[in-house]
Amino acid sequence: MENNDIIRPENLVYKRPALLSENHMHYCPGCSHGVVHKLVAEVIEEMGLAESAIGVAPVGCAVFAYNYIDIDWMEAAHGRATAMATAAKRLQPDKLVFTYQGDGDFSAIGTCESIHSCNRGENIAIIFINNAIYGMTGGQMAPTTLLGQKTATCPYGRRADLNGYPLAITPLLAQLDGTCYVTRQSVHKPANVRKAKAAIKKAFQNSLDGKGTSVVEIVATCNTGWKLTPEKANLWMEENMFAKYPLGDLKDVDAKK
Amino acid sequence: MKDQVTLMKGNEALAMAMIRYGADGYFGYPITPQSEVLEKLEEEMPWDTTGMVVLQAESEVSAINMVYAGACCGKAVCTSTSSPGFSLMQEGMSYMSASEVPALVINVMRGGPGLGTIHPSQADYFQACKGGGHGDYHPIVLAPSSVQEMADFVGLAWDLAFKYRCVSMILVDGLIGQMMEKVVLPEQKPRRTEDQIREQCPWAINGRKGMRPKNIITSLELDDDKMEANNERFQATYREIEKNEVRCELVNTDDCDYLMVAFGSMARIGMKTMELAAEEGIKIGLVRPITLWPFPTKEIAEAAKGKKGVFVPELSCGQMIEDVKLAVECKLPVEFYGRTGGNVPSPEELLDALKNKLINK
Amino acid sequence: MKAEIVIAGFGGQGVLSMGKILAYSGLMEDKEVSWLPSYGPEQRGGTANVTVILNDERISSPILNSYDMVVVLNQQSLDKFESKVKPGGILIYDNYGIHMPPTRKDIKVYSIAATEASIEMKNSKTFNMIVLGAMLKANPMVTIESVLKGLKKTLPERHWHLLPLNEEALKKGATLIND
């Protein structure tokens, strides 16, 4: 097969999702955000929600998510994304409203809003990227930073007596009556990417169906912050992160039936 | 249907006026002395009639960010709080101003600083008018002095917010919030349809219907020159507001020797002081700023011409007086009398203070 | 017509609602009215007071330092407000539990046995309508018809059967004022 045959439209097997813009992403090579962005764009397109999707962007690495996914976006103050999503959804119940937040935004400064939005059972979807570090500001400690993990603000490794324990927030949210679907996924291998996509789709569908709050935690890498190559970061995640943050569904109200 | 005169608290009038305006949403957190706003809304159940959303948030921080989102969606949304809660909302005030979205924020002031007292105060004047959050911004600040104005200013504040894409405030003290007076509520307006919002607010976050170009509302701009241009645009709007929207009430300012400048409940008390003074042959005129920002600078300068002195009573340690002094450029004596801690002076007390500071000095 | 009134007593004695009924009665007669409560925890146990102003013209200050009529329902309120009656004004007090009666000579003082009267009516809830009846006898600023009209407007229909009892209490209150 010649090159010219390969690029013929009838031979197309994979393309950039229509809703993923051509802006160059500011994410570091190896970062998980790019993959998750692509999944969100794909799912919105496949579900036919391009005209009714509203994203709420966080403060953190994903602050510019609005530059990459071509839907309507509002940019929240640090930690307040779920409060904004609450109002956006209640005021426009026919829209798909989701937040896209990192571990600092969602489980440190925004913990109060996160818990109460989930507890009220707001019909929103939350995509929560947990890479156990503050990437945007230069690799400081996150609530989810593992014990012993080195960051700019725990340079000798996180110590429970000094810094407290890593916060696993999704199991907490799974206990709340307002959540309908709480799951933990990753995007470091093709099989995981497929599962993560299915999870995002399910979360969005739940929101449209008014079932309550869905939380999709993506256990992610930050190879820059972790000071590892992308490949080693994936291995480090499998060995260390998955022990504290094991993958799988924590809650699915449909599965019980 | 034209409404009959009815009797209600200032806080209740705020709630009823929101529903009548065709408000889309209210998000708030209870705090004395303004909790009647949320209580009245919950009692009225407007979600069954007009479709208005009413939500008790988990905090003032959350409430103001819900308002921020609603404003981004082009909806008529508001919150109300009292001083400590308003402090928590400053972040949101700054973000909404930077995002150029229209919203209504009501502060029924109580005495501070700190947890302070639940009784009336006007000590959040600086915080409201000068921008209590970070960066250069101003909300439009309306200061009602009666229950009727509480009802009337809700609609006015929203109209101005949508006209200029800015935050409008109603700044009032607990006394006006808690007192009952006669009021005629505005007529019920329908809530705007989604099509109307799309037409009126083409920038709103309501989905790319017809695959229109995407809308993004953000206060973030990392390019220095672009951020400076943003600031220049905000300031241009503020100059426009200053040009068009100054409002004040002048009472007896032509025929008086002394000028009083007071807002809200202090203007009401001051009116009685004027009556008492007239009985003693002392002629006092009153300028009552209705917009605290933009401030009626020219109007005060004009009214002060040829007077023997200016008297500024406030429920604070002296905040608005700075703007009064700037207005008259210190060309005549400007004297202050204030009470704090939730204490409210009587009309006689104000008259004594005026006499001591300006007449028998 | 202008009447500047303060009613003061224990929280829970119905001070605020008594003021409210008076304000509504003024509304029924197309008067300008203002009702300003002391608010906060004192409503629920300590002393509470309410300022009510009825006027044919626009009301300036809703807060006052001297009053045409002062109505006090306990000793603390009497101690606090006796000096605030305008010369020639009216002071009404419920004599129950008062051990230091008022001493001013330049005002009209009425001691009323409202608590006793409510016991006679076998219904402690009639207390504040009895006091209001006395107030209106001492200064007929609104008619009893307006009071009943205002009550009907503010009470939910399920309570309308109590209107005759309220009317009776108002009339009973009027008999307690003896010049």
Query: Percent of chain B beyond pLDDT 70?
Result: 99
pLDDT of residue C154 exceeding 90, the answer is no
> Which candidate, A2, A256, A7, A245, places its Cα nearest to that of A128?
A245
Spatial neighbors of B249 by CB under 8 A, at least 6 apart, are B267, B286, B287, B288, B290
pLDDT of residue A162 exceeding 90, the answer is yes
pLDDT of residue A128: 98
Instruction: Please give the structure tokens belonging to residue A175.
Output: 């206990």
Mean pLDDT along residues C146-162: 90
B272 chain-C contacts, CB cut-off 8 A: 60-61, 64
Chain B residues 304-323 within an 8 A CB cutoff of chain C: none
Where does chain C have alpha helices with state H? 15-28, 75-81, 114-120, 127-138, 144-154, 163-174
Task: Please write the tens of the pLDDT for every residue from B47-92.
Answer: 999 999 999 999 999 999 999 999 999 999 999 999 999 999 999 9
Rg, C-alpha atoms of chain B: 21
pLDDT-based confidence at residue C34 (cuts at 50, 70, 90): very high
Tell me if B218 sits within 8 A of A58, measured CB to CB: no
Cβ atoms within 10 Å of B187's Cβ, excluding its own: 10
pLDDT of residue A7: 78
CATH number given to A26-256: 3.40.50.970
Tell me if C75 sits within 8 A of C95, measured CB to CB: no
Tell me if B104 sits within 8 A of B24, measured CB to CB: no
Tell me if B246 sits within 8 A of B161, measured CB to CB: no
pLDDT of residue C26 exceeding 90, the answer is yes
CB spacing of B32 vs C61 below 8 angstroms: no
CB spacing of B181 vs C59 below 8 angstroms: yes
pLDDT-based confidence at residue A1 (cuts at 50, 70, 90): low
Whole-model pTM: value is 0.95
Tell me if C89 sits within 8 A of C69, measured CB to CB: yes
B347 preceded by a cis bond (ω within 30 of 0): no
Give B220 or A10, the one with higher predicted confidence. B220
Task: Measure B291 CA to nearest chain A CA, in Å.
Answer: 29
pLDDT of residue B247: 98
Average pLDDT, chain C: 92
DSSP single-letter state for residue B359: I
B67 chain-A contacts, CB cut-off 8 A: 87
Task: Please write the tens of the pLDDT for every residue from C56-65.
Answer: 999 999 999 9
Task: Please write the tens of the pLDDT for every residue from B252-273.
Answer: 999 999 999 999 999 999 999 9
As a whole number of angstroms, the distance between CA A175 and CA B321 comes to 54
Which of the residue ranges A2-11, A54-63, A97-106 would you say has the lowest mean pLDDT?
Answer: A2-11
pLDDT of residue B131 exceeding 90, the answer is no
The residue whose two tokens read 């008086």 is B256
Instruction: Please give the structure tokens belonging to residue A160.
Output: 């429970």
Average pLDDT, chain A: 96
pLDDT-based confidence at residue C43 (cuts at 50, 70, 90): low
Provide the pairing of β-strand B284-289 with B258-261.
parallel
Task: Please write the tens of the pLDDT for every residue from A218-240.
Answer: 999 999 999 999 999 999 999 99
DSSP 3-state assignment of B246? coil
State residue C19 phi and psi, 5-degree precision.
Answer: -65, -40
As a whole number of angstroms, the distance between CA C36 and CA B345 comes to 14
As a whole number of angstroms, the distance between CA B294 and CA B323 comes to 11
pLDDT of residue C179 exceeding 90, the answer is no
Cβ-based burial of A230 (10 A; exposed 0-12, middle 13-18, buried ≥19):
middle
Mean pLDDT along residues B206-211: 97
- Domain locations along chain A: 26-256
User: Of C32, C34, C66, which has the smallest distance from its Cβ to B179's Cβ?
Assistant: C34
pLDDT of residue B2: 44
Tell me the residue type at C14: G
The residue in chain A having the minimum alpha-carbon distance to the alpha carbon of residue B191 is A91
Mean pLDDT along residues C126-131: 94
Mean pLDDT along residues B176-195: 97
User: Of A63, A74, A90, which has the smallest distance from its Cβ to B25's Cβ?
Assistant: A90
pLDDT of residue B17: 98
- Domain locations along chain C: 2-174
CB spacing of C33 vs B348 below 8 angstroms: no
The number of C-alpha atoms within 13 Å of B260 and in the hemisphere containing its C-beta is: 31
CATH number given to C2-174: 3.40.920.10
Rg, C-alpha atoms of chain C: 15
pLDDT of residue B291 exceeding 80, the answer is yes
pLDDT-based confidence at residue B1 (cuts at 50, 70, 90): very low
Which of the residue ranges B155-159, C36-40, C165-169 would you say has the lowest mean pLDDT?
Answer: C36-40
Which of the residue ranges B202-206, C4-8, C174-178 would you say has the lowest mean pLDDT?
Answer: C174-178
B273 chain-C contacts, CB cut-off 8 A: 61
A56 chain-B contacts, CB cut-off 8 A: 69
Interface contacts (B, C; CB < 8 Å)? 74
Average pLDDT, chain B: 97
Task: Measure B213 CA to nearest chain A CA, in Å.
Answer: 8
The residue in chain C having the minimum alpha-carbon distance to the alpha carbon of residue B347 is C64
User: Of B7, B174, B346, which has the smallest distance from its Cβ to C23's Cβ?
Assistant: B7
pLDDT of residue C52 exceeding 80, the answer is yes
pLDDT-based confidence at residue A257 (cuts at 50, 70, 90): low
pLDDT-based confidence at residue A3 (cuts at 50, 70, 90): confident
Using alpha carbons, list the distances in angstroms from residue C112 to A78, C13, C86, C116, C117: 63, 16, 20, 9, 9
Where in chain A does DSSP place strands (E)? 53-57, 72-75, 96-102, 125-130, 133-134, 140-141, 179-186, 213-219, 248-252
Using alpha carbons, list the distances in angstroms from residue B360 to A96, B238, B285, B353: 69, 41, 18, 10
pLDDT of residue A14: 87
As a whole number of angstroms, the distance between CA C22 and CA C52 comes to 8
- Candidates C7, C17, C49, C63, partner chain B, best to mutate (most B CBs within 10 A): C63
B270 chain-C contacts, CB cut-off 8 A: 61
As a whole number of angstroms, the distance between CA C13 and CA B277 comes to 37
As a whole number of angstroms, the distance between CA A35 and CA A85 comes to 23
Spatial neighbors of B109 by CB under 8 A, at least 6 apart, are B82, B83, B86, B120, B121, B122, B123, B124, B171, B172, B173, B174, B315
Mean pLDDT along residues A100-104: 97
Q: Which domains does chain B have, with CATH numbers?
A: 6-194 (3.40.50.970), 249-359 (3.40.50.920)
pLDDT of residue A155: 96
Tell me if C145 sits within 8 A of C138, measured CB to CB: no
As a whole number of angstroms, the distance between CA A74 and CA B204 comes to 10
Instruction: Please give the structure tokens belonging to residue C96.
Output: 């129950």
